[in-house]
Structure 1
């Protein structure tokens, strides 16, 4: 009887898990620029960085990798971007290899610390979108019979609400056990 109950519970848990599959979408690291180097563009390529940014989709959790020599990367506000003003940067990097984590959905503005480079097109706007979906960690299948519980996303019209509902499988398991027990005793 115990093995039969365990079998039913395993089938039930596996069935519930298969009804709501999640697809993992991992964060990405983007090497900035067409050729992967942050440098002053050619005179005829003044929009190269914004064109590169427009061809990529950035989400919270992604990172930008800047590789450069004898230059810098400044995170600035909108005014600093459009005026190539490096006097009040939000952040300054000058180590030659900079990794910047995109930690919130918004527009980010990047310029070279060399004003001439910025005016010649070494600047970029990145539009960061909402978080990547994260996979749920499914509960282990081999759970002791008295602890059959799992978490499942809320059946909400807004799938990004982040709300979850705990579904208790104990009543279902007890009903199956009762039916099995009654059928075996008759």
Structure 2
């Protein structure tokens, strides 16, 4: 606890010291002794203008002139009177022996001795007071936001990517094309149905193994002519697939007892004619 309190005290002391230094450097007016220990005399140890050149003077600073009262004085003049040592048109005169002059503005100030002979011996002084600096540097940053609007323009180009969705909307068009193949698929499916019907003529071709009921019908055809109608109705079942004739020919071997079976490569109607001829021959 003691160490923490010690640190707090040190921090407060540092802040107070810094504040005092800032106040002293910014607002404390300085007093300058003209001529140093020699004072305001004819031949100082250091030239007055050389002494003024190595010092910095600000508004509210004060010059102190020390001289013998009654034998000398200090005059505030313009540049022309300064150069010519004219003592008759002085703007201000100080002759009390302990004269103080406070700078109330910036710029050059010209001082000469009230004795023209002393002025001609370089008992004169030029002091340049520095201008008061404006403590408002925050105004320049205000101009910085100006470039920001220029940077805001690029976002207006962003609508370009929006054209992408338009292309995507056209993409579904190919999908209907893909839907067409399923409609074509039923075509091949009918092929197997047609392949099931060809076994009907197989009894006429004399191939019993292809269909179990075939053998029973063959003797009926040979015995009774009325049995002919059932084979007659089989050709209409074959009519939907005229193109299926080649499949029947491929599945049925050439029967030896019926020489006309070799002509089964014709269309569905040809198969029907073959069946009729077979029935007639059997009846005879």
User: TM class, shorter-chain normalised?
Assistant: 0.5 to 0.7
**Aligned pairs (5 A) from 1:139-178:** 155-157=138-140
Aligned equivalents of 2:67, 2:87: Cα separation in 1: 17
Query: What TM-score, normalized to structure 2?
Result: 0.38
Tell me what 1:122 maps to: 123
Q: Give the structure-1-normalised TM-score.
A: 0.57
Measure, in 2, the Cα distance between the counterparts of 1:87 and 1:102.
23
The Cα of 1:23 is off from its aligned counterpart by 2.5
Structure 1: which 4+ aligned runs deviate by more than 6 Å? none
- Alignment map for 1:16-165 (pairs within 5 Å): 23-24=22-23, 25=25, 26-41=28-43, 48-69=47-68, 70-131=71-132, 155-157=138-140
Paired residues of 1:37 and 1:68 also in contact (CA < 8 A) = yes
Q: Which is higher, the Rg of structure 1 or of structure 2?
A: 2
More strand by share: 1
Cα gap change, 1:132 to 1:101, in 2 (>3 Å): farther
Corresponding residue for residue 166 of structure 1: none
Pick the structure with more helix per residue: 2
Superposed CA RMSD: 2.8
Q: CA deviation at 1:155?
A: 2.5
Q: Is the 8 A contact 1:28 1:63 kept in 2?
A: yes
Determine the C-alpha separation between the residues in 2 that align with 1:95 and 1:56: 25
1:27 CA drift (Å): 1.1
Q: Deviations over 1:150-183 (max 9, x none)?
A: xxx772249xxxxxxxxxxxxxxxxxxxxxxxxx
Q: CA deviation at 1:107?
A: 0.3
Q: Which runs of 5+ in 1 are unaligned?
A: 1-20, 135-152, 159-186
The one of the two structures with greater contact order (alpha-carbon pairs below 8 A, sep at least 6) is 1
Unpaired runs of 5+ in structure 2? 1-18, 142-284
Change (3 A) 1:154 1:40: closer
Shift of 1:131: 3.4
CA contact (8 A) 1:59 1:128 kept: yes
Bigger CA drift: 76-85 or 125-134?
125-134
